[in-house]
């Protein structure tokens, strides 16, 4: 340990830290552009200059290691003058396009211009012009004039993505960021360069010019693209998810997420294929009905079958709460045939984040009683028995199992198919009753990633169900923490319900007396009845998740 002084206050810090790291641990912010906690030190922006007693000149905090007895000043006149000089230098050739820049509101250069700049430029010559609207790759756009040459993006590609695709060319004030000859910025993690760019040089081609950051709400959530469960923020305007960005979690995804998870896992939330209300097949045609009629139809039809003629298919896309209540409903009916479909793409994973399992809650489905971890054939056995005619009714939640043509062929032989779904798909095309379910962006719940970490999802988008179930105070809290005021526009709401609530309604129509008022009530029961969830609560799970208890060797091997 080293005893250091920062701005006349003493601290005991690890002597292996640099000044900027030691200051950050104490809650002291030293301005910086090129430094990033997960990248190598470049030391080229000079914004983090600080004064250290007994040293002849200012030093950069990002690469200067602390020593015992070091006295550091971050607010002295020398430091302030240096910061103003660096800002003046960076702004000399920077374009004055904040009003049209996508980074406005999130721009470190913009923030520092207010805090550390004198606000006046002595430069009286023409600015250097550089290429604008350069398509670096399929997902990233470059405005070279805005680049401050911090090299964060270059180092990210080299060190994290392991794909050296970016470099600098030219010299002095004509330096330009570009790709290597014949290369494109098309690695699986390319859009992380947008997040770590401290200015508006790199922007998302998908999100470009859609909204200002202050016009959107951000809600903590989890990526549903694979079993990693990267922590994310859902950004919403007018009840529509416009973008996903990674949320820091050192135990799951650090600061990163893949481009697939960022671009492809939320588009269905506001797609034209959304199922807006429950549907019943009448005279061969699916017809919109009210919830009471749909639930009554499901209960009436299920009573007509013997328990060995009914099976259920849960979902690794559904929450722990949804799958738990499906298992409980089948237990109430005496049904023992229940499993879920696996979605593993062999070979489609890497050593960074991507997993071959393309579902967010495979582990959780097993933990709450849907199927087995070794995938011992339960789902395929159910499909085979449907082909043989021994299973005549099937209850499916939140999974497009009929996307597999062989499964679709089997489902067509059923006498009755009940489906929870948020969007039209191959499975809903075969259904006799469709119960409109909420997407992950519209409900509370938990999911368990491949490591066994239970993580929360929260509603960022409103449905009509939330309007009915929340009082004014609760709606105001949801609006404050998960949505923008404009999102309550009537035209974008759907009459969808989370699957746990739908299952509670079906159970009630079948004579069960469940009293769940919220997803949290369901999880409270899970944590009190399933050993691996013992001691958990929504509060304790918090924003970074909580590991399930490991009680067996089989479960332990999944970590």
377 in a structural domain? yes
**pLDDT of 517:** 96
The CATH number of the domain holding residue 405 is 3.40.50.740
199 in a structural domain? no
* 383 vs 394: CA distance, rounded Å: 10
| DSSP-derived pairing of the beta strands 176-179 and 279-282 | unpaired
Q: What is the pLDDT of residues 354-374, one digit of tens each?
A: 999 999 999 999 999 998 765
Which residue bears the tokens 């609530």? 501
267 in a structural domain? no
Give the residue numbers spanning the domain of 542. 279-556
Residue % of the chain over a pLDDT of 70: 92
Q: What is the pLDDT of residues 279-290, one digit of tens each?
A: 999 999 999 999
Pairwise pLDDT comparison (373 vs 474), residue with the higher score: 373
**pLDDT of 492:** 54
Query: Does the pLDDT of residue 17 top 60, yes or no?
Result: yes
Contacts of 126 (CB under 8 A, 6+ apart): none
Among the three residues 70, 91, 112, which one is the final residue of a domain in this structure?
91
* 406 vs 9: CA distance, rounded Å: 70
**pLDDT of 371:** 82
Which residue bears the tokens 């989370």? 498
163 in a structural domain? no
Q: How many CB atoms lie within 10 A of CB 84?
A: 15
Q: What is the largest CA-CA distance in the chain?
A: 89
Q: Residue 508, Cα to own-chain centre: how many angstroms?
A: 34
The confidence band for 376, taking pLDDT boundaries of 50, 70 and 90, is low
- The token duo for 253 is 């995804």
Among the three residues 91, 122, 147, which one is the final residue of a domain in this structure?
91
Query: Does the pLDDT of residue 480 top 80, yes or no?
Result: no
Query: Does the pLDDT of residue 375 top 80, yes or no?
Result: no
180 in a structural domain? no
Question: Is the Cβ–Cβ distance between 198 and 108 less than 8 Å?
Answer: yes
Q: What is the pLDDT of residues 498-531, one digit of tens each?
A: 999 999 999 999 999 999 999 999 999 999 999 9
The confidence band for 466, taking pLDDT boundaries of 50, 70 and 90, is low
Q: What is the pLDDT of residues 392-430, one digit of tens each?
A: 999 999 999 999 999 999 999 999 999 999 999 999 999
Q: How many domains does the chain have?
A: 2
CA neighbor of 194 nearest in space, from 253, 107, 260, 265: 107
Question: Is the Cβ–Cβ distance between 160 and 253 less than 8 Å?
Answer: no
Residue range 16-26: average pLDDT? 96
374 in a structural domain? yes
114 in a structural domain? no
Contacts of 501 (CB under 8 A, 6+ apart): 465, 469, 516
**pLDDT of 520:** 97
Query: Does the pLDDT of residue 169 top 50, yes or no?
Result: yes
**pLDDT of 524:** 97
284 in a structural domain? yes
* 301 vs 298: CA distance, rounded Å: 5
**pLDDT of 493:** 66
- The token duo for 134 is 């350069």
**pLDDT of 374:** 59
Q: What is the pLDDT of residues 526-536, one digit of tens each?
A: 999 999 999 99
**pLDDT of 172:** 87
The confidence band for 261, taking pLDDT boundaries of 50, 70 and 90, is very high
The CATH number of the domain holding residue 11 is 3.10.20.740
Query: Does the pLDDT of residue 55 top 90, yes or no?
Result: yes
Among the three residues 91, 125, 153, which one is the final residue of a domain in this structure?
91
**pLDDT of 549:** 85
Q: What is the pLDDT of residues 194-213, one digit of tens each?
A: 999 999 999 999 999 999 99
Q: For residue 312, list its beta bridge partners.
A: 338, 395
Query: Does the pLDDT of residue 558 top 60, yes or no?
Result: no
Q: What is the pLDDT of residues 343-355, one digit of tens each?
A: 999 999 999 999 9
**pLDDT of 120:** 78
pTM of structure = 0.91
When the pLDDT of each residue in the chain is averaged and rounded to a whole number, the result is: 91
SS3 357: strand
Which residue bears the tokens 């971890």? 373
């Amino acid at each position: 340990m080293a005893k250091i002084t920062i701005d006349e206050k003493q601290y005991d810090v690890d002597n292996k830290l640099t000044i900027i790291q030691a200051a950050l641990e104490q809650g002291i912010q030293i301005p910086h552009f090129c430094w990033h906690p997960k990248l190598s030190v470049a030391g080229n922006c000079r914004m983090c200059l600080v004064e250290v007693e007994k040293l002849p000149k200012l030093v950069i905090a990002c690469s200067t290691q602390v020593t015992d007895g070091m006295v550091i000043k971050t607010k002295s006149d020398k430091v302030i003058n240096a910061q103003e000089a660096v800002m003046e230098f960076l702004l000399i050739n920077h374009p004055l396009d904040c009003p049209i820049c996508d980074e406005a509101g999130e721009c470190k250069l913009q923030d520092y211009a207010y805090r550390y700049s004198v606000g006046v430029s002595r430069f009286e010559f023409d600015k250097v012009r550089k290429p604008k609207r350069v398509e670096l790759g399929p997902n990233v756009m470059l405005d070279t004039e805005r680049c401050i040459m911090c090299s964060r993006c270059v180092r990210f590609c080299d060190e994290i993505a392991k794909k050296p695709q970016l470099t600098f060319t030219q010299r002095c004030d004509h330096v330009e960021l570009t790709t290597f000859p014949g290369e494109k910025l098309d690695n699986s993690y390319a859009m992380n360069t947008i997040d770590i760019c401290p200015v508006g040089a790199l922007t998302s081609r998908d999100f470009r010019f859609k909204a200002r950051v202050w016009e959107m709400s951000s809600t903590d959530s989890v990526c549903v693209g694979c079993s990693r469960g990267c922590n994310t923020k859902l950004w919403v305007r007018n009840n529509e998810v416009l973008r996903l960005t990674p949320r820091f979690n050192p135990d799951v995804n650090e600061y990163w997420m893949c481009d697939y998870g960022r671009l492809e896992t939320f588009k269905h939330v506001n797609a034209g294929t959304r199922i807006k209300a429950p549907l019943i097949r009448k005279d061969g045609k699916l017809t919109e009905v009210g919830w009471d009629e749909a639930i009554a139809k499901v209960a009436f039809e299920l009573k007509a079958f013997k328990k060995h003629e009914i099976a259920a298919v849960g979902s690794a896309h559904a929450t722990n709460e949804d799958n738990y209540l499906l298992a409980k409903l089948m237990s109430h009916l005496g049904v023992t045939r229940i499993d879920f479909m696996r979605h593993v793409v062999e070979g489609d994973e890497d050593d960074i984040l991507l997993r071959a399992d393309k579902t967010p809650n495979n582990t959780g489905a097993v933990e709450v009683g849907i199927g087995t971890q070794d995938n011992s054939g339960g789902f395929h056995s159910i499909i085979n028995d449907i082909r043989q005619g021994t299973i005549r009714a099937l209850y499916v939640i939140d999974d497009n199992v009929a996307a597999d043509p062989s499964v679709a062929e089997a489902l067509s032989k059923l006498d009755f198919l009940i489906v929870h779904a948020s969007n039209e798909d191959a499975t809903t095309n075969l259904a006799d009753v469709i119960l409109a379910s909420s997407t992950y962006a519209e409900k509370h719940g938990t999911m368990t990633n491949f490591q066994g970490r239970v993580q929360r999802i929260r509603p960022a988008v409103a449905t009509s169900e939330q309007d009915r179930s929340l009082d004014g105070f609760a709606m105001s809290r949801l609006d404050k923490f998960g949505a923008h005021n404009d999102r309550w526009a009537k035209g974008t709401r759907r009459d969808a319900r989370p699957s746990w609530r739908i299952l509670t309604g079906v159970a009630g129509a079948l004579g069960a007396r469940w009293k769940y008022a919220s997803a949290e009530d369901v999880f409270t029961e899970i944590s009190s009845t399933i050993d691996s969830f013992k001691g958990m609560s929504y509060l304790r799970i918090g924003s970074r998740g909580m590991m399930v208890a490991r009680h067996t060797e089989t479960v332990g091997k999944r970590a």
